[in-house]
Structure 1
Amino acid sequence: MSKNLSQLARRKGIDHTLFQQLVIGEDSRSKDERRQLAKEFLIGEAIVHGTASFYDFIDGDNANKKAYVCNGSSCLCAGSQDQVKEQLLTEFSSDEIGHVTCLGRCSENSAFQINGNNFSGDDINNLAQIVHQNLTDSQENYHVNCLIDKPILTAEINDVAQYYQLFTELQQQDSQAVLDKVSQSGLRGRGGAGFPTGFKWQSCRDIKNDEKYIVCNADEGDAGAFSDRYLLEQRPHAVMFGMLMAGFLVGAKTGVLYIRDEYPAAITATEQAINEFSQLALAIDFSFKIIRGAGAYICGEETALLRSIEGQRPLVSVRPPFPTQSGLFGCPTVLNNVETFASIHWILSGNDQAYQTLGNGKSTGSKLISLDGSFNKPGIYEVAMGTPLTEVIESAGGFAKDLKALHIGGPLGGVVPITKINELTVDFESFAEHGFLLGHASIIGIPESISMVDYIAHLFEFTAAESCGKCYPCKLGSVRGHEMFQQAINDETKIDNELLADLLETMELGSLCALGGGVPLPIKNILQYFADEISPYLQAAQASQQTLIGANAND
């Protein structure tokens, strides 16, 4: 069925998709309009309803709200959101206020959105002015620091025409030789998986097909992460150049940027950059298209993202086939993260070997790290792969409060106790060897005041809310996990440790994607390193055993 729907969606092409009609259509929520959409796209009304009902900002409980409170992990740890909600209630009724998982304002916290504009930090103290004067400009302040000799991702772009001159020069070279430079640089996907970029592009290039696509995954939903937002707002041409180059090397004529709706400034900046690109009139048939998200974390998973663009319900797909074989509309597709594309210009400016020498040989180049408000100098830090984590923390002025752990890599990343940070370097291998995950390299500080039992319940609740529902280990496992911990917190039923271990193993092994399969990692980290906090909530005989296990793990 999904293949048939993909082909039906292909008839209309990328410039007129069912999903975007539902997102931006003025009357897209009416039954008559949806009936017309079903006829136009040659699909059943149930398909239109199934698509619309998936998204929080279309048919969900948070659709059509006037104000939104960020309830992401960083703002939770900052303890700022109760005050934000209280202040918003002075201007809005409770049914006019919704919530959003993360607005990417993690450096300042106290994040909220009004009329499609994001605010944070001290903005909440000027709420009346924001509401009654319709203010749209929030002066967000965060540090941007480069800890390498020559900036790569944080380098300024002062002359757009000159910046794209490199593409004109590379067009004159053998395209396979250019692609080989990408491969030789050792660049790996920066979205968290760390897959070799050159290998992915080569795979798509080798497939013969009249139609191919380049897709940029800018659905940055990991709480604590705002590096993609930084690049789209401040360096959109770096991202677009990487997409353009990928299109040239694999034979694609269309680049799609899937940007989450929670990032309005990123969408505006990218739209402006596309207009600037169009005025250059480069000698290549390649166009850009922005697809605006609608509040679904799972669309950060590549196959769900592709189904979303097509107007289908964004459920995770079983692989193979991989997107490079059968991706958007069933066509070969290169799909990479924002930061991955943004690295291409520097690499192909004669720096492929220099890029390869940065890092540990397996994790090469530079990496952007997002530091939240728990640091004295929160913001974006560009570091060489292999940089000691302690060096990054020192550059950020250390911690702004007493912390007991860092949650690194988003909700599916590892929870690193403060006692372990001196053992880690910023690369995929170091984190994996120590039982953690670098992921997107966002860092959230977990303060001493946060209960780790509550934090586990928060992670399970997040997974349950964001699961696509296709596989039961994720869909049901997250709900059961949240129930298990919430009952223990409410002093109703102690946690059966053996049952919990079975649940986590089932989610790890049985889930189709990294959401259900990844959330057990931070939970297991907490169970290992914070056993003393967890043991009172376990059944008596198992509590003493868990305490012993935790003590041994910390030796």
Structure 2
Amino acid sequence: MSKNLSELSGRKGIFDNLFEKMGTASKGTGTPYLSDLDQLAKEFLMGKANTYGTTSFYDFMKPENKDKKVYICNGSACLCAGTQPSVKSSLEKRFIPDEIGHMTCLGRCHENAAFYLNGKNYSAKTENEILNIVDQNSNPKTDKFHIQANKAVLTLPFMGFKTHYDSLKSLLQKGPKEVLEEIKKSGLRGRGGAGFPMGFKLEACASEQSEQKFIICNADEGDPGAYSDRFILEQRPHSLLFGMLMAGFASGAEWGIIYIRAEYPEAVEIINLAIQELRDHQLLGKNILETGFNFDLKIIKAQGAYICGEETALINSIEGQRPEVRTRPPYPTTQGLFNKPTVVNNVETLAALHFILTEGGERYKSMGTQKSSGTKLMSLDSFFKKPGIYEVEMGTSLKEVLFDMAGGFKLPVKALHIGGPLGGIVPIEKITDLTVDFESFSKAGFLLGHASVICIPKDFPMIQYLEHLFEFASFESCGKCFPCRLGTKRAHELLHKTTTSDYKISRELFDDLLSTLEQGSLCAHGGGIPLPAKNALQYFENELKNHFEN
């Protein structure tokens, strides 16, 4: 990270943003002209290598993206469902191969056959449906999924703008310290995967002396199989915005930034409309409700990079730098966006603040377990009889969620990949041992993470699934550290070689490679990807042994 580049990027403020201008320059052709990048470098007092190096990283700005017109989802859920080859063959009737790109998970894991066209996402099973969408730019299907809760917090129905923000003035009058204490009482832990206490982050930021601070909502929900954040963004947007206001108030921040992934175009539109509602009711800007609280919001549209789910890479991205992971310390709460104190939390975490601050931190704390309080959203894919979003109290039996609530499986399934690409591969027989909380999964050698659930069907080769995972990991590595940049690629090469020939991987070599990734990687991307591989080798040894020596 360059402190100087951070300062140069921030000198014009939030609304004149370098990264946003790079995205604008990429519209139309799919990648910016070099002359545009040269101009941006001059405007922001940076080198040309900086602007080119940044745009060449992202899926939707890199030169290889030029003239792409349609994108096919290649996420894990769609892979296991087997729908995408037919989607591709149908689209090839209207587009030449160079016009077809890929997006990794469009958040339509509940129905699959997903693709992106003209700024919208679609799911269509038949060739006629797909060609009608292309020719008429209309979708015959509505994007609906089952929503069920055994303890409703985030899935509570929206009661209207006035009712939703009724408590805002009284909370602002209480003062930031009292609001922060209520959040700490709740025991709320980050729902993006790491499970870090939210109150600790807010308090650390509040204690910093700075003329400018930021709250960033990480809405770059890149884990294939996860669409719980998309549910909140599109169906409960004001839960998120209320949480942004309160997090800003508690930490002393006057700016909130919502970083929404490019793969969720509808979410960008919906959040924009919700922000305009706040403006129309004078709940953004200076001296909100005459309480002396200043706060404003800005949407940044991402450009396709899974690593931006890591908070420091996300900060670099907003600054218009390459989204590489930063070394820590310093932590973002001390030196984050534009070198200012910054708190980064994901959508689900921030959205929980509405319930916590209107119903009380103690009531939220009373739900769940001692160390994992509250509720958790789970995303279930199309292999379930009732796929969709499930909100469950922490500590709920996993078996209860998957079988009693979701109805079990439509087809035979041998394992569940839970918690995103870095989450554990859970064999079916282990379901009864797990409860939905951080500790249960960790103790059993798995990871709750985002709590997305992807089913691996019985007839899907586990070696092929591992190859897919490491292809994803190597493609999405930021490249900052050697263990991840080289290790994920070497693992993918070994797995590809054994799936396409009679080559057998040395188990000793592979174990050493996984150990190097775990111990040497700078962030959880390289450090976490060995977990599903180790789970697979442990629980599916008989299936995998023909691909390994010894």
Task: Indicate how the Cα distance of structure 1 residues 138 and 63 shifts in structure 2: closer, same or farther if over 3 A, else same.
Answer: farther
Q: Counterpart of 1:130?
A: 133
Q: Counterpart of 2:514?
A: 504
Task: Indicate how the Cα distance of structure 1 residues 20 and 71 shifts in structure 2: closer, same or farther if over 3 A, else same.
Answer: same
Match of 1:483 among 476, 485, 493: 493
Q: Counterpart of 1:21?
A: 21
For 2:71 and 2:459, locate their aligned partners in 1 and report how far apart those are by CA, in whole Å.
Answer: 25
Q: Counterpart of 2:324?
A: 315
1:323-402 equivalent positions in 2, closer than 5 A: 323-394=332-403, 395-402=405-412
Q: Counterpart of 1:552?
A: none
> 1:73-111: per-residue Cα shift (whole Å, max 9, x none)?
000000111111111111111111111111110000111
The residue type paired with residue 196 of structure 1 is: P
Segment drifting more, 348-357 vs 232-241 = 348-357
Q: Give the C-alpha shift of residue 186 in structure 1.
A: 0.6
1:38 aligns with 2:41: yes
The residue type paired with residue 329 of structure 1 is: F
Q: Counterpart of 1:549?
A: none
> 1:492-547: per-residue Cα shift (whole Å, max 9, x none)?
421100111100000000001111100000000000000001111112xx1xxxxx
The 8 Å contact of residues 225 and 410 in structure 1, kept in 2 or not, is answered as yes
The residue type paired with residue 117 of structure 1 is: K
- Aligned pairs, how many? 538
Match of 1:494 among 482, 499, 504: 504
Segment drifting more, 463-472 vs 121-130 = 121-130
Structure 2 residue matching 1:285: 3-state secondary structure: strand
For 1:123 and 1:114, locate their aligned partners in 2 and report how far apart those are by CA, in whole Å.
Answer: 16
Structure 1 residue matching 2:294: 3-state secondary structure: coil
1:433 aligns with 2:443: yes
User: Which runs of structure 1 show a deviation greater than 4 angstroms over 4 or more consecutive aligned residues?
Assistant: none
Structure 1 residue matching 2:191: 3-state secondary structure: coil
Q: Give the C-alpha shift of residue 66 in structure 1.
A: 1.0
Structure 2 residue matching 1:58: 3-state secondary structure: coil
1:211 aligns with 2:212: yes
Structure 2 residue matching 1:192: 3-state secondary structure: coil
Task: Indicate how the Cα distance of structure 1 residues 430 and 125 shifts in structure 2: closer, same or farther if over 3 A, else same.
Answer: farther
Q: Give the C-alpha shift of residue 64 in structure 1.
A: 3.7
For 1:518 and 1:60, locate their aligned partners in 2 and report how far apart those are by CA, in whole Å.
Answer: 30
The residue type paired with residue 488 of structure 1 is: T
Q: Give the C-alpha shift of residue 353 in structure 1.
A: 1.1
Q: Counterpart of 2:314?
A: 305
For 2:312 and 2:205, locate their aligned partners in 1 and report how far apart those are by CA, in whole Å.
Answer: 16
Q: Counterpart of 2:532?
A: 522
For 2:66 and 2:387, locate their aligned partners in 1 and report how far apart those are by CA, in whole Å.
Answer: 31
The residue type paired with residue 474 of structure 2 is: A
The 8 Å contact of residues 56 and 63 in structure 1, kept in 2 or not, is answered as no
Task: Indicate how the Cα distance of structure 1 residues 418 and 295 shifts in structure 2: closer, same or farther if over 3 A, else same.
Answer: same
For 2:512 and 2:344, locate their aligned partners in 1 and report how far apart those are by CA, in whole Å.
Answer: 34
The residue type paired with residue 428 of structure 1 is: F
Q: Give the C-alpha shift of residue 450 in structure 1.
A: 0.7
For 2:15 and 2:483, locate their aligned partners in 1 and report how far apart those are by CA, in whole Å.
Answer: 36
Instruction: Determine what percentage of the aligned residue pairs are the same residue.
Output: 54
Structure 2 residue matching 1:179: 3-state secondary structure: helix
Q: Give the C-alpha shift of residue 63 in structure 1.
A: 4.5
Q: Give the C-alpha shift of residue 138 in structure 1.
A: 4.8
For 1:351 and 1:309, locate their aligned partners in 2 and report how far apart those are by CA, in whole Å.
Answer: 34
For 1:367 and 1:65, locate their aligned partners in 2 and report how far apart those are by CA, in whole Å.
Answer: 37
For 2:59 and 2:227, locate their aligned partners in 1 and report how far apart those are by CA, in whole Å.
Answer: 21
Instruction: Could you tell me which runs of 5 or more consecutive residues in structure 1 were left unpaired when the two chains were aligned.
Output: 543-555
Structure 1 residue matching 2:360: 3-state secondary structure: helix
For 2:76 and 2:160, locate their aligned partners in 1 and report how far apart those are by CA, in whole Å.
Answer: 38
Q: Give the C-alpha shift of residue 161 in structure 1.
A: 2.5
Q: Counterpart of 2:262?
A: 261
Q: Counterpart of 1:548?
A: none
> 1:414-449: per-residue Cα shift (whole Å, max 9, x none)?
000000000000000000000000000000000011
TM-score (norm 1): 0.95
The residue type paired with residue 314 of structure 2 is: L
> 1:348-395: per-residue Cα shift (whole Å, max 9, x none)?
113311211111110000110000001000000000000000110121
Q: Counterpart of 2:95?
A: 92
Q: Give the C-alpha shift of residue 20 in structure 1.
A: 0.8
The 8 Å contact of residues 83 and 125 in structure 2, kept in 1 or not, is answered as no
For 2:216 and 2:412, locate their aligned partners in 1 and report how far apart those are by CA, in whole Å.
Answer: 41
For 2:310 and 2:458, locate their aligned partners in 1 and report how far apart those are by CA, in whole Å.
Answer: 32
For 1:83 and 1:401, locate their aligned partners in 2 and report how far apart those are by CA, in whole Å.
Answer: 20
Task: Indicate how the Cα distance of structure 1 residues 5 and 136 shifts in structure 2: closer, same or farther if over 3 A, else same.
Answer: farther
Q: Give the C-alpha shift of residue 174 in structure 1.
A: 3.4
For 1:406 and 1:60, locate their aligned partners in 2 and report how far apart those are by CA, in whole Å.
Answer: 36
For 2:112 and 2:73, locate their aligned partners in 1 and report how far apart those are by CA, in whole Å.
Answer: 9
Task: Indicate how the Cα distance of structure 1 residues 137 and 211 shifts in structure 2: closer, same or farther if over 3 A, else same.
Answer: farther
For 1:378 and 1:438, locate their aligned partners in 2 and report how far apart those are by CA, in whole Å.
Answer: 18
For 2:331 and 2:141, locate their aligned partners in 1 and report how far apart those are by CA, in whole Å.
Answer: 41
1:115 aligns with 2:122: no
Q: Counterpart of 1:81?
A: 84
Q: Give the C-alpha shift of residue 224 in structure 1.
A: 0.3
Structure 1 residue matching 2:188: 3-state secondary structure: coil
> 1:313-355: per-residue Cα shift (whole Å, max 9, x none)?
1100011111111111000001100000000010011331121
Task: Indicate how the Cα distance of structure 1 residues 63 and 396 shifts in structure 2: closer, same or farther if over 3 A, else same.
Answer: farther
Q: Give the C-alpha shift of residue 122 in structure 1.
A: 3.4
Q: Give the C-alpha shift of residue 123 in structure 1.
A: 6.7
For 1:107 and 1:63, locate their aligned partners in 2 and report how far apart those are by CA, in whole Å.
Answer: 30
Q: Give the C-alpha shift of residue 249 in structure 1.
A: 1.1
1:52-201 equivalent positions in 2, closer than 5 A: 52-122=55-125, 125-135=128-138, 138-148=141-151, 151-201=152-202
For 2:176 and 2:490, locate their aligned partners in 1 and report how far apart those are by CA, in whole Å.
Answer: 52
The 8 Å contact of residues 110 and 124 in structure 1, kept in 2 or not, is answered as no
Q: Counterpart of 2:7?
A: 7
The residue type paired with residue 487 of structure 1 is: K
Structure 2 residue matching 1:406: 3-state secondary structure: strand
For 2:83 and 2:474, locate their aligned partners in 1 and report how far apart those are by CA, in whole Å.
Answer: 24
The 8 Å contact of residues 54 and 60 in structure 1, kept in 2 or not, is answered as no
The residue type paired with residue 381 of structure 2 is: D
Q: Counterpart of 2:275?
A: 274
1:424 aligns with 2:427: no
Match of 2:302 among 293, 303, 324: 293
Segment drifting more, 70-79 vs 112-121 = 112-121
Q: Give the C-alpha shift of residue 136 in structure 1.
A: 6.0
Structure 2 residue matching 1:165: 3-state secondary structure: coil
For 2:127 and 2:14, locate their aligned partners in 1 and report how far apart those are by CA, in whole Å.
Answer: 39
Q: Give the C-alpha shift of residue 409 in structure 1.
A: 0.3
Q: Give the C-alpha shift of residue 455 in structure 1.
A: 0.8
Q: Give the C-alpha shift of residue 166 in structure 1.
A: 1.2
Q: Give the C-alpha shift of residue 162 in structure 1.
A: 2.5
The residue type paired with residue 446 of structure 2 is: F
Q: Give the C-alpha shift of residue 209 in structure 1.
A: 0.7
TM-score (norm 2): 0.96
The 8 Å contact of residues 108 and 123 in structure 2, kept in 1 or not, is answered as yes
